[in-house]
């Protein structure tokens, strides 16, 4: 098979992975040009596979922690090779596509490597003692994604990176609060332990909420989640200027990302913070509403009425 055919097939495989595993990641967005969608899909496929190593069972049995770390080390080796070797020598379709995207758009190896550092941390750590620890985790697990998107559109201003970091950290936190029950079922707790203690809650009580599939009658839980949601909304606000600082080609995608994250927080509030009874999600009507809101220039009204 000729190189161009192999490259086209590699991007097609990344798109297939993106469609199969779509989450809160700007993969198949129709708001960006096709060539950039291909690059986003390559980034996503790289991260999706690494996340599987860190957090998903193996084909026949769950992988032991040392096996997960070994798999991630092998993934990092292939990542380094796709930056250093000629593309014609890259056989893995994900790394062939990623290597091509990295060269075409001058993507930073550091950002991709930081994603792997986050996955390695997932293997080693399933609790966070305080919010500083959680935010440091987000700096590797979420912020590199926003920086890669900016690089993809040739934005490399440190001020824009800083604004993007706020949005990405907040989006990651919103996903944590949305998925408290899902993560707890996997023995992962992203709620800072000192926050739990501050509101008089224990991990054992969270397990009771999970078993009962509800926490709506527990005032301490509502107070804790209201605190986390408010803090997350404040971080979103700190990054709100970003969409208006970039060109039209990326602006609406970033507006949608910001609006979607804030809408998740509103959904959590709407269920009175009882994410054990039901997982707050964005539905088709929400996406339609946010799509139309994304046409509007961000102003003081942007934070309300989702």
- Sign of the dihedral through C-alpha 223, 229, 235, 237: negative
Can you tell me the distance from the alpha carbon of 108 to that of 102, in angstroms, rounded to the nearest whole number?
Answer: 7
Is the per-residue pLDDT at 125 higher than 60? yes
Q: Does residue 12 sit within a domain? A: yes
Q: What is the pLDDT of residue 301?
A: 46
CATH number at residue 270: 1.10.600.10
Could you tell me if 106 and 151 lie in one domain? no
Overall average pLDDT of the 154-164 stretch: 97
Domain boundary among 72, 91, 124: 124
Which band of pLDDT confidence, cut at 50, 70 and 90, is reported for residue 297?
A: confident
Q: Are residues 71 and 210 in the same domain?
A: no
Q: Measure the CA–CA gap between 295 and 66, rounded to whole angstroms.
A: 48
Is 79 among the domain residues? yes
Q: What is the pTM of this model?
A: 0.91
Same domain, 166 and 117: no
Give the domain range for residue 38: 1-124
**Assigned domain for 130 exists:** no
CB atoms within 10 A of CB 87: 17
Q: What is the CA radius of gyration of the chain?
A: 20
Query: For 215-260, what is each residue's pLDDT tens digit?
Result: 667 899 999 999 999 999 999 999 999 999 999 989 999 999 999 9
Whether the pLDDT of residue 142 is over 60: the answer is yes
- Do 274 and 163 lie in a common domain? yes
Structural contact between residues 214 and 239, judged by C-beta atoms closer than 8 angstroms: no
Residue 186 within any structural domain of the chain: yes
Say what the pLDDT of residue 26 is: 45
Question: What region, left, alpha or beta, does residue 176 occupy, with left being phi > 0 and alpha being psi -120 to 50 degrees?
Answer: alpha
Average pLDDT over residues 139-158: 97
Q: What is the pLDDT of residues 2-58, one digit of tens each?
A: 999 999 999 999 999 988 765 544 434 667 787 799 999 999 999 999 988 877 655
Count of positions (residues) in the chain:
306
Answer for the pair 244, 286: CB distance below 8 angstroms, yes or no.
Answer: no
Q: Which two structure tokens, joined as six digits, stand for 289?
A: 């509403």
User: Which of 105, 124, 143 is a domain's end point?
Assistant: 124
User: For the chain, how long is the longest CA-to-CA vector?
Assistant: 63
Helix (H) or strand (E) holding 43: helix 34-55
Q: How confident is the model at residue 305 (pLDDT cuts 50, 70, 90)?
A: low
What is the distance between the alpha carbons of residues 288 and 187, in angstroms, rounded to a whole number? 35
Q: Which two tokens stand for residue 223?
A: 């107070």
Q: 193 with 93, same domain?
A: no
Q: How many domains does the chain have?
A: 2
Range 271-278 average pLDDT: 91
In a domain, 281, yes or no: yes
Percent of the chain with pLDDT over 90: 75
For residue 286, what pLDDT band results from cuts at 50, 70 and 90?
confident
Give the mean model confidence (pLDDT) for residues 74-91.
Answer: 97
Rounded CA gap, 192 and 199, in Å?
Answer: 11
Number of Cβ atoms within 10 Å of the Cβ of 283: 9
pLDDT one-digit tens code per residue, 180-218: 999 999 999 999 999 999 999 999 999 999 998 876 678
The pLDDT value recorded for residue 91 is 94
Helix residue ranges, H only, 125-247: 131-141, 143-152, 158-178, 180-185, 193-198, 203-212, 219-238
- 186 and 306 housed in the same domain: yes
């Amino acid at each position: 098979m000729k190189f161009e055919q192999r490259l086209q097939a590699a991007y097609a495989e990344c798109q297939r992975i993106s469609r199969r595993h779509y989450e809160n990641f700007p993969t198949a967005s129709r708001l960006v040009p096709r060539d950039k969608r291909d690059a986003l899909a390559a980034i996503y496929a790289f991260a999706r596979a690494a996340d599987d190593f860190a957090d998903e069972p193996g084909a026949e049995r769950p992988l032991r922690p040392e096996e997960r770390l070994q798999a991630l080390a092998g993934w990092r080796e292939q990542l380094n090779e796709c930056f250093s070797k000629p593309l014609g020598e890259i056989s893995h379709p994900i790394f062939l596509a990623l290597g091509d995207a990295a060269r075409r758009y001058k993507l930073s190896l550091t950002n991709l490597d930081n994603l792997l550092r986050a996955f390695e941390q997932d293997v080693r750590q399933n609790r966070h003692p305080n919010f500083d620890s959680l935010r440091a985790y987000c700096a590797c697990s979420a912020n590199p994604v926003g920086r890669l998107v900016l690089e993809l559109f040739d934005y490399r201003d440190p001020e824009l990176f800083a604004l993007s970091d706020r949005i990405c950290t907040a989006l990651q936190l919103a996903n944590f609060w949305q998925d408290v029950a899902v993560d707890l079922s996997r023995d992962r707790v992203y709620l800072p332990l000192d926050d739990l203690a501050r509101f008089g809650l224990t991990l054992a009580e969270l397990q009771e909420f999970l078993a009962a599939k509800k926490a709506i009658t527990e005032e301490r839980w509502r107070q804790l989640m209201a605190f986390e949601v408010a803090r997350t909304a404040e971080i979103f606000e700190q990054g709100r200027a970003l969409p208006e600082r970039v060109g039209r080609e990326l602006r609406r995608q970033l507006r949608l990302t910001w609006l979607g994250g804030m809408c998740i927080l509103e959904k959590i509030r709407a269920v009175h913070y009882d994410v054990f009874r039901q997982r707050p999600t964005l539905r088709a009507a929400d996406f339609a509403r946010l799509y139309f809101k994304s046409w509007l220039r961000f102003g003081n009204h942007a934070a309300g009425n989702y």
